[in-house]
Chain A
Amino acid sequence: MEIPFIVNVRKDTGLINSKVGIWLFLASEVTLFGGLFSGYLFLRLYADYPWPERALPVLPGLINTFVLIGSSVTVVFAWAALKMREWRKFQIYMSITLVCALIFMALKGIEYKAKFGHQAVQIDGDGPVQGHEIVEGHVHYAELDKDGQIHEVDKERKKEDGVFSANRIAFKASELSFVLTRPSHEAYVKEILKQAGDSHTITLKEAYRVINEDELYKGDLNRTELLESENALIADAGAELSTDVLDDLEDAYLDARSHDRKVRTKFLAASWDWIRDEEGIDEAATYVIEMDLWKERRKEDGEKLKIVTLGPVAEVTFTIDPPLTLVLKPGDLVKVSDVDIKLRDDTVAKGEMLPSPIIMGVDALDFRHTAQRAEAEELDPFPVIEQTWLLTHKAHHGDEEEGHDADHRNEFKKIWDCHMAWLKAETARLKTKGREPSMNDKFRVNWDQIIAYRDVNEELEYDAKMVYEYASDPDDDLVLYSSGLFDLKGFAGANHNEFDFPHLEIPRNKVGFESTFTPRWNTYYAIYFTITGLHGLHVIGGALVLGYYLFFGRKMYDSNPEWLANRVEIGGLFWHFVDLVWIFLFPILYLM
């Protein structure tokens, strides 16, 4: 079929049809991104936590801006080359455009990867305003020792069997209860069996029985006898846990439940018919259920139902012998207590919680939320911060190593003291310009500050006095890596391979909320991933279309070059739009 008006313009619109099409599409795209920017604005204006201002490393975003603008120029040059019938030039410009798309996506990948590997923990604190200090960093690695205790291991061993991220929860389970209404246990059962290996047996605690439907209707046995009968047995006590066994139990339960539901519905219908005949009414059920007669009838029904339903038990319990230490991701658990945990599939494990600290290298301290809450309570934020768990806890680690913590103050208190010294100097400096330090300056210690505070001292000790001297000396300012925009050491944020960050072990009962920098952490990262993810998909889509013109366009160029030029113009319009969205995204996400 021939498509009309793709080379010559239509008289009434004055345009080629494909241009009308692309502009309609772009208008819908403007609306789509407009809605998302609106979402961003809403989340930011009504955020109930300090919004992460200028939280992303600028350099990758800046390079990506250059790359996209550059590709916008080359794509329009590629179109111009086709207009002038220069195939070779078209190939070159279009190839550059595609390389730009590739660079853009690669940088996006690096950024995303840094976010996925970056951990944040909100601590359940001891201060007057509880639980709002945040530490950021990289989780270390750990394994279970013979006694089932979590022990940190070297980073080099991270790929070994039995080594896991040191944010897992260790729980010594002696009993597991599965809920049979949820037919989705498979993944967890497999994981538990894998961790149990051959050294633990997981067996059904009590026989699981469901009354057999056929026997029920014969009516020559009472319910106790029915339950004891051979046909009622689904799995005997001592049956080993497997997905098959659990499937059998689930099937038996669900069949019986569906039988019971049918019976109940029949009873309800019969009762309804009865009361209608009895009372001669056909009113709404809400009216009927208030009648004493109806209530009486339903009570009688209830007694009868006890006899004619199968009444399956919805929960089965397995015992673990000897008790097994389960190591689980925090995200797999919906409830954690000292004696039981609940998995996402509602499976409950009973036993004993083991010390499951989060062990991490800390690259930022964030007291902004604490300060915000303190100010709301009309408290001076600084003394409140001094009382938080992070600054007051006794460090267990590092004491022995190289006399690091010889003076029993924890490392984070020292960092905070350095920060206060820096802030004092910085406040004085800004005052000469008639300015004040920002909320970020005051209450957030960034990774480059942590490094700089330590590096001023040749012994690599945190030394508040020296920090103050350096910071207040105009000739000898602190070297902050992020202020050197083009320092590649912090290209995608704190670089844990390059720098040694202070070690922190957070006991599980001090962990308020923990997450990597994904949408789970806060609404900023939710909208960040939504908008940049959608934008990234547009880049990929646009690159595929432009790539098609480059690699499969020659035939059309030979037969109808003007048509190809028009196609490239249409693809180019989309590409410019992708650039346009990024022009807004870059300042909004990276600089504001």
Chain B
Amino acid sequence: MAGSIEEVQKAKRLYMFIGLLLFFFTVVTVAVATVESLDFGGHGFDKVDAIIGLSIAAFKASLVMIIFMHLNHERPLVYFVYILGIVMAFFCIALIGWAKDDPIRYGNPNASDGFYNPDKPATRSVH
């Protein structure tokens, strides 16, 4: 961590640069989503746009963590706690993997696996 006055002074320039970088990538995120000539993949939103958008977000988040949150020079304990949090978050997201095996069925009973089947959408009961 920046301890001495000189180091802090030097770090300030870095913070400014990272801030501008974050602004720039925010503009990039919006541009690839809204400007047609920058729309990768098919027309409109699709997987490619999701991958690009989330990759930029992940990169931006890394910048914030590494520079602003000083993860570039931290003690081992912080990394341990931080990785623990990330692992837990991924575990939460991975829970969706089990969703397919969930015995609770909803929607159309004719759907192949009990879940929503785009070929046979569930009917919404309207009285």
Give chain A's interface residues, CB within 8 Å of chain B. 13-15, 19-20, 23-24, 26-31, 33-35, 37-38, 41-42, 45-48, 53-54, 58, 62, 65-66, 69-70, 72-73, 76-77, 80, 83-84, 122, 124, 131-132, 372-373, 376, 430, 435-441, 483, 485, 512-513, 572-573, 576-577, 579-580, 583-584, 586-588, 591-592
Contact = CB atoms under 8 A, between A and B. Distances in A.
Nearest to B58: A584
A46 B61 contact: no
B26 A13 contact: no
Contacts of A76: 15, 68
Interface in B71-95: 75-78, 81-82, 84-86, 88-93, 95
Given A34-B88, A38-B95, A579 B30 contact: no
B118 A376 contact: yes
A587 B19 contact: no
Given A19-B78, A435-B43, A34 B90 contact: yes
Given A34-B88, A73-B19, A441-B44, A513 B126 contact: yes
B119 A376 contact: yes
What does DSSP make chain A's interface, helix, strand, loop or mixed? Answer: helix
Given A15-B75, A38-B95, A591-B33, A24 B81 contact: yes
B126 A512 contact: yes
Contacts of B11: 80
Contacts of B109: none
A510 to B, nearest CB: 11
A247 to B, nearest CB: 33
Contact of B78 (A23, A35, A436, A512): A23
Interface of B is mostly: helix
Contact of B45 (A69, A83, A592): A592
A80 B126 contact: no
A193 B116 CA distance: 47
Nearest to A572: B68
In the A-B complex, the 5 residue pairs with the smallest Cβ-Cβ separation, listed nearest first, are A34-B89, A438-B44, A27-B85, A30-B85, A73-B19
Nearest to A69: B22
B121 A72 contact: no
A591 B45 CA distance: 8
7 contacts: A31-B92, A34-B89, A34-B92, A38-B93, A83-B8, A430-B43, A579-B68
B68 to A, nearest CB: 5
Contacts of A373: 121
A583 B89 contact: no
Interface in B1-32: 2, 5, 8-9, 11-12, 15-16, 18-19, 22-23, 26, 29-30
A38 B93 CA distance: 4
Contact of B50 (A13, A20, A592): A592
A434 to B, nearest CB: 9
A436 B41 CA distance: 11
A69 B26 contact: yes
A435 B46 CA distance: 13
Contact of B92 (A20, A29, A38, A583): A38
Contacts of B9: 80, 84
Contact of B30 (A38, A58, A592): A58
Contacts of A435: 42-43
A406 to B, nearest CB: 34
Contacts of A584: 54, 57, 61
B59 to A, nearest CB: 9
A42 B121 CA distance: 17
Contact of A591 (B16, B19, B29, B120): B29
Contacts of B90: 34
A29 B82 CA distance: 11
A583 B18 CA distance: 14
Contacts of B34: 58, 483, 485, 591
B49 to A, nearest CB: 7
A586 B42 contact: no
Contacts of A62: 26, 30
A131 B124 contact: yes
A65 B81 contact: no
Contact of A124 (B42, B44, B65, B126): B126
Contact of B99 (A23, A30, A46, A583): A46
A54 B44 CA distance: 10
Nearest to A31: B88
B28 to A, nearest CB: 11
A430 B26 CA distance: 27
